[in-house]
Amino acid sequence: MSIQKYVQGNALFRTYFKKNKEDLLKLVTEGQKPKALFIGCSDSRVIPDMMLQTKPGDLFVLRNVGNFVPPFSPDDDYHATATGIEYATSVLKVSEIIICGHSYCGACAALYEDLDDTPEMVHTRRWLSLGESAKKSAILSLGADAPKEELLRLTEKLSIVHQIENLLTYPQVKERFEKGDLHIHGWYYHIENGKIEYYDADNYEFLPLSALTEEIKE
């Protein structure tokens, strides 16, 4: 895809902007008030607004390689993901946090590969360590000799659970979660068919997202 494709895309978006100018300018004058923080993977096949059909202002989106959440670490280093979490929960006061992993995740696949010990990959190797606990849990569950694809799919799902555990190490997240005014969700997006599953913490399993609608009706 050449840069010209992006230029044409922006021209189309400006047409959309004109048609929805009133709503979009309201976001300028009144500021953003998203209800949810969406923590997703940087993978180009994962597109939150298309997946959920949300509008501008609905989601505060935080994306990184592997949709990983580093544990809370109050030091003087640079923490992009932590900053997004703090801003969303303490300033924007979102009421929902969604950690969304996905199938065929390159970050989870890389956990099973030997990355070259080169300066070019120094940050990547360190970052991927956030997925090691999920890998170990998957191997413990299925065995090291299990089919590779089964290990990868389970690793992707278990990683979501481990990232939720890391998320709860943030004081402001833990406090609001325990008060009941902040809800945390673990979602798994199937890039091969567009379906989403959610993590049912009571039964330790992933269920179709549509089941949530059925629960609300009941």
Number of folded domains that form the chain:
2
Same structural domain, 73 and 164: yes
Q: With contact defined as beta carbons under 8 Å apart, do 45 and 102 qualify?
A: yes
Q: Which residues pair with 96 in a beta bridge?
A: 36, 183
Same structural domain, 21 and 117: no
Same structural domain, 86 and 132: yes
Q: Comparing 2 with 43, which gets the higher pLDDT?
A: 43
Same structural domain, 181 and 124: yes
Largest separation between any pair of C-alpha atoms in the chain: 58
**pLDDT confidence bin for 117, thresholds 50/70/90:** confident
Same structural domain, 11 and 36: no
Tell me how far apart the alpha carbons of residues 6 and 4 are, in angstroms, rounded to a whole number. 5
Same structural domain, 22 and 45: no
Evaluate if residue 1 carries a pLDDT over 70.
no
Same structural domain, 12 and 83: no
Same structural domain, 21 and 78: no
Same structural domain, 166 and 129: yes
Domain that holds residue 94: 32-217
* Contacts by residues 83-91 (CB-CB < 8 Å, ≥ 24 positions apart): 84/37, 84/39, 84/60, 85/37, 85/39, 85/167, 85/170, 85/173, 86/170, 86/172, 87/60, 88/34, 88/37, 88/60, 88/62, 89/37, 89/170, 89/172, 89/173, 89/176, 89/182, 90/172
Same structural domain, 147 and 55: yes
CATH code where residue 108 lies: 3.40.1050.10
Task: Give the global pTM.
Answer: 0.94
Q: With contact defined as beta carbons under 8 Å apart, do 185 and 96 qualify?
A: yes
Task: State pLDDT tens for residues 57-83.
Answer: 999 999 999 999 999 999 989 999 999
**pLDDT confidence bin for 153, thresholds 50/70/90:** very high
Q: Which residues contact 160 (CB under 8 A, 6 or more apart)?
A: 67, 99, 100, 101, 186, 187, 188, 199
Same structural domain, 68 and 11: no
Tell me how far apart the alpha carbons of residues 79 and 169 are, in angstroms, rounded to a whole number. 15
Could you give the 3-state DSSP secondary structure of residue 111?
coil
Evaluate if residue 213 carries a pLDDT over 90.
no
Evaluate if residue 173 carries a pLDDT over 90.
yes
Q: With contact defined as beta carbons under 8 Å apart, do 90 and 97 qualify?
A: no
Which pLDDT score, from 0 to 100, does residue 212 have? Answer: 83
Q: What are phi and psi of 23, to 5 degrees?
A: -65, -40
Which pLDDT score, from 0 to 100, does residue 120 have? Answer: 85
Which contiguous run of DSSP H or E holds residue 125?
Answer: helix 122-128
Same structural domain, 7 and 38: no
